[in-house]
Structure 1
Amino acid sequence: MPPTSTARSTGDFRADRRYEYARAAFDERDFEAAADLARQVLELAPDFAAAHAMLGRSLAELGAGEGAVEALRRALALEPVDELGVRLDLARLGALPPGEAITNGYVRALFDDYAPKFDRHLTRSLSYRGPDLIADALRRACSRRFRDYCFGLTLDLGCGTGLMAQALAGLCSALEGVDLSPGMLEKAGRTKLYDALHEGELVSFLSGRPTAESDLVVAADVFVYMAALDAVFREAQRVLKSEGLFAFTVQAHEGADFMLGKDARYAHSESYLRRLAEGTGFTIVIFERVSTREDRGVPVPGFLCVLQR
């Protein structure tokens, strides 16, 4: 289901109440009731995108693929920024290329909705430890490259609430973060660990930075919301100084390039990451299998990489 805050209101109390009933029915897996209630909402508010999305998702669960695609496309036409995450559903139904499934609007809405409970949910419910794993890998990478375990200007991509900054506290002469979500940035600002925080998409952020300014670029569990990583690798290589480090985690994919998983996240293959690293002029210092979080108590397979310019 999409972030709860994106549904907004129809302006009609009766329609809003029916939509909430539809959400409840969907959550209880009563998809026939959810579809029927969504249709009732649309009788009262024909242009309510969330109800079209609800109808499409319910029909998809009922096996009515053609009707589902039609309803989802109507939702997307009404809300092209796609805060509702309809493109993910269309990709699952084969009506959209997987590489086009996740938009900046969806990620922004997802994490604005998630921000108040983000740290607690990640660390307690999902046993998240991506930043700590990256910090440890950077320590080992510095030892292997005979350099001190400390850094100049560091750029934290998809900084979220600042968990990566906490893992690197005291190690960076300057630290700047970028994130799509204002809600996440507000919480990151409370850590007092960043010299600057920027709202925006990470490739555009990197593209606007001077060449060879940074000593370290980090991205903890950020690339799971991106398909192709070519532009990120290229821009990270450009903004790094000679011998600067680029450290990140991804979910692991055993096939070619990348895939969109059932968890609505992208996973990337080892061959794809190694090819990108070589093609953009990076040296691989550390490339290892890790799990940064759990899903229903099961470790999610991933890769941790530290590359050197």
Structure 2
Amino acid sequence: MQSNQLTSGDVIADRRADYAKMLDESGEPHAAAELMEQALELVPRWAAGWYRLAGYREKSGNTAGAIEAYTQTLDASPDDIFGAKLKLALLGEVMTPDQPPSSYVERLFDDYADRFETSLVEKLDYSVPGKLAALVATTGRHYSLAVDLGCGTGLLGPEIRDRVARLEGFDLSRNMLAKAAEKHVYDHLEQADLSLAPEATGLFAEGARHRADLVTAADVLMYLGNLESVFEAVSALVVPGADFAFSVEDAGGDDGFHLAPSLRYSHSEAYVRALCARYGLDVSAVSKTAIRKDGANTISGILFLTHKAV
């Protein structure tokens, strides 16, 4: 049995965990935590169980207990597929990581792929692909090669396909890439990890640098904190005169970037503009807009259209 499996491998522990979930959904997180503790007595190295216990404790106001449970999650699953370190950062126990664990982001979207478009577009009013495509359309250009970073299920692809001769999509999640392939819009799809140094991302597998005259990143950068490596990768991808269009969640007046309770990062306009200047990207247009809902809240974002000087 893998210690990070979503089920424990023990029938009694799983049953108690199921009851704990029911209690939590009924508004009784303290009782849910007690039952989850009993389940973990039977399977003490169950990472997913510790993560669930941490959540119940956090809801019931037991911050110290939540920190202990998130720490146990990380101990049982060192690759941190649950993002326990991000939770510990929000609770002030560790420094905010510059990047989330790739294993966490990959698992998140692999699990989310089948319901991604229904949840995001139909329920959360997700609007970035259309808005970003409209921003690209203001250039009036037709592109030889577009690279769609973090393409997901391919929502942006159909929006820009008519102005692109060749369209390549890259994403960390193989399940999301499989969904994108079903649209028959992309000429090439490949797995890539934008949190790594440029040459390790998977974007340059054939050594093809400076090949794209359009790069897009729709709702991708909020799953990365420090964007330095992303801008370095984009700089290596584009030809002189290329456009780079992307979105971020708006950090408001805050400087730099910060981790939100959603476990996504928000970035300030000043931070992004500084990176653009550093990597020779002229900011052509900026649009501040609502990009999706998150529960009862509306998430504000910033869309950028930038241009690489010739």
Task: Output the TM-score relative to the length of structure 2.
Answer: 0.91
Q: Which residue of 2 aligns with 1:36?
A: 34
Q: Which residue of 1 aligns with 2:44?
A: 46
* Alignment-mate amino acid for residue 283 of structure 2: I
2:162 paired with 1:163: no
Q: Which residue of 2 aligns with 1:64?
A: 62
Residues in 1 aligned to 2:295 and 2:7: alpha-carbon distance in whole angstroms: 33
Offset of 1:67 from its aligned partner? 2.6
SS in 2 for 1:84: coil
Residues in 2 aligned to 1:298 and 1:19: alpha-carbon distance in whole angstroms: 30
* Alignment-mate amino acid for residue 142 of structure 2: C
Question: What is the CA deviation profile of residues 262-305 of structure 1, one whole-angstrom value per residue up to 9, with x for unaligned ones?
Answer: 22211100110010000111111111212221234543211000
Offset of 1:123 from its aligned partner? 1.4
CA shift in 2, pair 1:66/1:207, >3 Å: farther
Residues in 2 aligned to 1:8 and 1:262: alpha-carbon distance in whole angstroms: 22
Residues in 2 aligned to 1:300 and 1:65: alpha-carbon distance in whole angstroms: 26
Residues in 2 aligned to 1:33 and 1:102: alpha-carbon distance in whole angstroms: 31
* Alignment-mate amino acid for residue 36 of structure 1: E
SS in 2 for 1:162: coil
Question: What is the CA deviation profile of residues 136-187 of structure 1, one whole-angstrom value per residue up to 9, with x for unaligned ones?
Answer: 10111x14xxxxx211111111111000101112221111111111211111
Residues in 2 aligned to 1:96 and 1:177: alpha-carbon distance in whole angstroms: 34
Question: What is the CA deviation profile of residues 95-149 of structure 1, one whole-angstrom value per residue up to 9, with x for unaligned ones?
Answer: 1222357221111111112111111221111111111111110111x14xxxxx2
**Corresponding residue pairs, total:** 298
Question: What is the CA deviation profile of residues 37-74 of structure 1, one whole-angstrom value per residue up to 9, with x for unaligned ones?
Answer: 11111111111111212222222233333332122111
2:277 paired with 1:278: yes
* Alignment-mate amino acid for residue 298 of structure 2: P
80, 85, 104: which one aligns with 2:83: 85
Give the share of equivalent positions with the same residue, in percent.
34
2:202 paired with 1:205: yes
SS in 2 for 1:82: coil
4+ residue runs of structure 1 moved beyond 3 angstroms?
206-209, 296-299
* Alignment-mate amino acid for residue 72 of structure 2: R
Matches within 5 A, 1:156-305: 156-202=148-194, 203=196, 204-206=201-203, 208=205, 209-254=207-252, 255-296=254-295, 298-305=297-304
Moved more, 199-208 or 298-307: 199-208
* Alignment-mate amino acid for residue 27 of structure 2: R
The answer to whether the 8 Å contact 1:251/1:300 transfers is yes
Residues in 1 aligned to 2:81 and 2:57: alpha-carbon distance in whole angstroms: 20
CA shift in 2, pair 1:285/1:195, >3 Å: same
The answer to whether the 8 Å contact 1:57/1:89 transfers is no
Residues in 1 aligned to 2:235 and 2:29: alpha-carbon distance in whole angstroms: 48
* Alignment-mate amino acid for residue 6 of structure 2: R
* Alignment-mate amino acid for residue 8 of structure 1: L
Question: What is the CA deviation profile of residues 217-240 of structure 1, one whole-angstrom value per residue up to 9, with x for unaligned ones?
Answer: 100001111101111112102210
Residues in 2 aligned to 1:101 and 1:226: alpha-carbon distance in whole angstroms: 5
Moved more, 99-108 or 261-270: 99-108
SS in 1 for 2:242: strand
SS in 2 for 1:284: strand
The answer to whether the 8 Å contact 1:87/1:101 transfers is no
Question: What is the CA deviation profile of residues 11-42 of structure 1, one whole-angstrom value per residue up to 9, with x for unaligned ones?
Answer: 21111111122222233331211211111111
* Alignment-mate amino acid for residue 197 of structure 1: L
CA shift in 2, pair 1:161/1:86, >3 Å: same
Question: What is the CA deviation profile of residues 167-209 of structure 1, one whole-angstrom value per residue up to 9, with x for unaligned ones?
Answer: 1122211111111112111110101111111123135134555
Offset of 1:259 from its aligned partner? 1.0
CA shift in 2, pair 1:38/1:297, >3 Å: closer
Offset of 1:247 from its aligned partner? 0.5
The answer to whether the 8 Å contact 2:216/2:245 transfers is yes
State the Cα RMSD in Å. 1.7
* Alignment-mate amino acid for residue 91 of structure 1: A
